[in-house]
Amino acid sequence: MKKRRLKWLLVGLLILALVFGTAIAAFASNASGNSKSPERKIVVFQNWLIEQPAKDKVLRHAGISKVKDLPLINAAVVLVDPDKEKALRQRSEVLRVDPDALVYTQGRPQKKPPQPAPPPADPEILPWGVDRIDADLVWDKEDPKLAVDPGANAGGGVKVAILDTGIDLDHPDLQANIKGGINTINPRKSPDDDNGHGTHVAGIIAAVDNAVGVIGTAPEAWLYAVKVLNRQGSGYVSDIIEGLQWCIDNKMQVVNMSFGTSSDVQSLYEAIVKAYHSGMVLVAAAGNSGPGDDTVLYPAKYKEVIAVSATDQNDNIAWFSSRGPEVELAAPGVNIMSTFKNGGYMVLEGTSMACPHVTGTAALVIASGVSTRDEIRTRLQATADNLGDPNLFGYGLVDAQEAAAGTATAP
């Protein structure tokens, strides 16, 4: 009997050793980067493979899980492990497989932890950035009290898409200008802002003239919330591509992209090119990567996009602002008060805040009668106030008054 018990004890110990040995081996494999866990990728099909059932069949036969389709670039987002990805790349129907890289907002709190700003006192205030680019002189010439003059150009009816964390759809300073949108992260949900960044950007562009809060660069422009970033302020390239598809389908005129990534993803570039050729003006934050000869992020780095660097109240380049030959325009991006989620207000800084000053100015230029993308871009370049080094400021500080009204006020 004792021998039998000893035998079963030895068998049990052997089983435990095998279990723990397998667990340790798995842990070591993961720690060394040999994990076989699926990764999110963008599969781009050959141009001749356009029928959806045929594309789905390729993925199904490869045993790959599809997240969603990207018709703009004839692609699909998938979850795939390295072995299956290798096999997929070898299929004749597949043109390439791109990483579905993450992008991040380019707005940031001030150096000390931010405290929500109290609602500005009644009457509404003119933020220093909107004032510095002379946007108010386009639509407020007659009344010493801050207000849009009757019949003035305030960007009315110009369709501006904000690809971001969404917009606070009930914010009293924005609600009247919000005309629609989409949530590409979860189409079943609204594009309401669960982060605050997109709402801040929206207020710089088009906070309404309502005698309270703040007022935007183009206070009558139409805002469209295209939620492509999550509550942490990050998102996938594929969600941005889907957002650009929505912008094309819904005939947006200006697109604001206050985000960036260091990854040059071919799929993103192809989507940008298609959006550009649809006639839209594309504006993006240069990035917050700081000093250096080549720190501009994507998509701002693409030639089809207006890359915007950030300046402070003394027209100096912001310490955090990316620099490089791709910078096209500069705009205020330090100590910027604007709208925030939950009906609030916040002071933020970043090229994320500079970018919408240019977007709002583009809306004013369009409302003034300049209709084509190239003419709008040329007007913005030609009327910018030269601040010096083009690697820092591009053509210079955007000048809304001169760009939209043809007149200039001395700095």
DSSP, residue by residue, 261-313: BS---HHHHHHHHHHHHTT-EEEEE--S--SSSS-PPBTTTSTTSEEEEEE-T
Give yes or no for a contact between 228 and 164, defined as CB atoms under 8 angstroms apart. Answer: yes
Which helix or strand (DSSP H or E) is residue 4 part of?
helix 2-31
User: Residues 338, 352, 357, 385: which is the catalytic one?
Assistant: 352
d(CA 356, CA 202): 8
352 carries an active-site annotation: yes
Neighbour tally for 51: CB within 10 Å = 9
Q: What is the spatial distance between Cα 30 and Cα 12, in angstroms, rounded to a whole number?
A: 27
Query: Which backbone phi and psi does 153 adopt, to 5 degrees?
Result: -80, 105
Active site residue 197: yes
Pull the structure tokens for residue 199: 């709402």
Among 98, 136, 164, 192, the active-site one is 164
Collapsing DSSP to helix, strand or coil, 105 comes out as: strand
Which residue type sits at 385? Answer: D
Under 8 Å between Cβ of 285 and 229: no
Inter-residue contact 20 to 64 (CB < 8 Å): no
Q: Cα 166 from chain centroid?
A: 10
Q: How far is CA 314 from the centre of its chain?
A: 27
Catalytic residue among 197, 200, 209, 289: 197
What 3-state DSSP class applies to 139? helix
The residues assigned a catalytic role are 164, 197, 352
